[in-house]
Amino acid sequence: MEQQRAILLRCASGFPLPPGVKMSYGTAGFRAEGMTLASTVFRTGVLAALRSLKMGSAAVGLMITASHNAVGDNGVKVADPSGSMMTQLWEPFADALAGAPTAEDFVRVVFEFVDEEKIPFGVARPSEILLGRDTRPSGEALLEAAKQGIAAVVGAVAIDMGILTTPQLHWMVRRRNEGRGASEDEYFRQLSDSFRRLMDLSPEGTLRNAYDPSVWVDGANGVGGEKLGELMKLLPAGLAVHVRNSGKDGEGILNDGVGADFVQKEKAIPHGFSTSDAGRRCASLDGDADRLVYFRITGEEGRKIDLTDGDKILSLFSLFIKEQLAKLEEGGEPAGRARLGAVQTAYANGASTEFLRRMGMEVAFTPTGVKHLHEKASEYDVGIYFEANGHGTVLFSDKFLRELEPLNAELATNHPGSESQKAALRLWEVSQLINQAVGDALSGFLLVEAILRHKGWSIEDWNSLYQDLPSRQLKVKVADRSVVTTANAETQVVNPPGLQEAIDAETAKYPNGRCFIRPSGTEDVVRVYAEAATQEAADGLARAVALEVGRSL
């Protein structure tokens, strides 16, 4: 134990905490300007190694990325052995590690937590930490800091998986702990094989086939564009993918006027696209390829794009899966009675929630953040979650997948099988295609394309599922965001007193009005979200509530 203490003290001394730096571990892990992060990433390497020891030396992941942030930023986060986000119970420990002012304080925090959690040092089985990073210039130096943090824990081994999308690393962690192949080649092969089989299961002779196999993808000048290019080499001829903003050869700036976050927030055409693309089905990934949105350039004066966001992806996935479950139930299969649920946050457009409920879906709400959505979705036999920003996935319970297996085996023996057996096989392939560890823009993209092909739909058909209510998001800078507390999935203000009543009074002035506020998880701002019957009304409601926030804080 003393040897371990000495190693940690010596190594931590080489990564002093920069003056004035204050880090908080949230859904995105730690994020800041890349040049300030070496100390934080070193300490997160120690955190990841300890997490592995706590989990019986299971593999965990450490990803260096700032996702949709500007290229000068970077970040680091830890993936649990299941491939999902690190448990929230360890976030206060992560904060304490990152904020320890000296090497001595850092070591003290480590050993206090080790004693409290009964984390075993010196176990015989090595603890594996899988490392990944995106294409940011600061990533290589930060990777070395992470390796040194991992090496400072006796028995921990860093395994560099190379430049990856964030979802790829999460997938690899999950697969490694399942005892299955976890290489990038195997990731590409699983996605392409499942996509091909799902495409082969598309019904013949659909009443209306408006599906166009060509799609244009904005790669955000990040790692996702490059990886999609590699994946395309394995895809069947039935899909023609045209990648722009791939980031190859230094062309374009990461997330600068491109990417899912830009397209979704600004509702604007990304660089590399123009009105000459009007009418085409287009998609946009974010910088680390864990977000996906679609859009169509209308070419109409005053309209930049028709956005097809995460709410619409959730609705498409829900509709398809519910249809397959109905076929199972019609065939008398127990799997058809699976509990299916959709999980949203308050940022979901109200029209999407109404559509899902009209469809007969069970809809649940959680606070903002993938960790909350993922946890709630895991309570269902089939749980689907998406944020409007395009981050989401589909989770299948082990129980449900076990019920599908006999149907799939029978179909393989007695091809072509009944409609219920085909539905079972479709659901099985969806479970293999979609990344169940975390939101994955590449696997989500392929599932969207397979469903549109199955239904014979154009992007206009998809968009017509419902009409979004006009909305507006604003940010109000405040001295201390912590004075604002919320409840009921962040839709009601608890503190400061009287602010919720003021929001209610303003909201009541607008037809179809809905408005809520929430403190940012990363900066001293309060975010305002408003919906109303018209864009002018949504803008007015957002501005009025922003003024109330300013007066109250």
The set of catalytic residues is 67
3-class state of residue 528 by DSSP: strand
Residue 519 assigned ligand-binding role:
yes
Report the candidate in 181, 201, 199, 178 with the shortest Cα–Cα distance to residue 190.
Answer: 181
**DSSP 8-state secondary structure symbol assigned to residue 39:** H
- Angle among Cα 539, 262, 277 to the nearest 5 degrees reads 105
Residue 333 assigned ligand-binding role:
no
Residue 135 assigned ligand-binding role:
no
Residue pair 450/460 in contact (Cβ under 8 Å)? The answer is no
Residue pair 79/62 in contact (Cβ under 8 Å)? The answer is yes
What CA–CA distances, in Å, run from 449 to 199, 371, 457, 459, 498?
9, 26, 10, 10, 48
What CA–CA distances, in Å, run from 271 to 71, 220, 303, 397?
16, 9, 16, 40
Residue pair 281/459 in contact (Cβ under 8 Å)? The answer is yes
Residue 67 assigned ligand-binding role:
yes
CA 150 – CA 160 distance, rounded (Å): 12
Burial class (CB in 10 A: 0-12, 13-18, 19+), 492: middle
Residue 174 assigned ligand-binding role:
no
Report the candidate in 52, 48, 119 with the shortest Cα–Cα distance to residue 78.
Answer: 48
**DSSP 8-state secondary structure symbol assigned to residue 473:** E
Residue 518 assigned ligand-binding role:
yes
Residue 138 assigned ligand-binding role:
no
3-class state of residue 28 by DSSP: coil
Residue 527 assigned ligand-binding role:
yes
Residue 521 assigned ligand-binding role:
yes
3-class state of residue 342 by DSSP: strand
Residue 309 assigned ligand-binding role:
no
Residue 387 assigned ligand-binding role:
yes
Residue pair 83/171 in contact (Cβ under 8 Å)? The answer is yes
3-class state of residue 186 by DSSP: helix
Provide the annotated binding site for substrate. Answer: 387-389, 518-522, 527
Provide the annotated binding site. Answer: 67, 286, 288, 290, 387-389, 518-522, 527
Provide the annotated binding site for Mg(2+). Answer: 67, 286, 288, 290
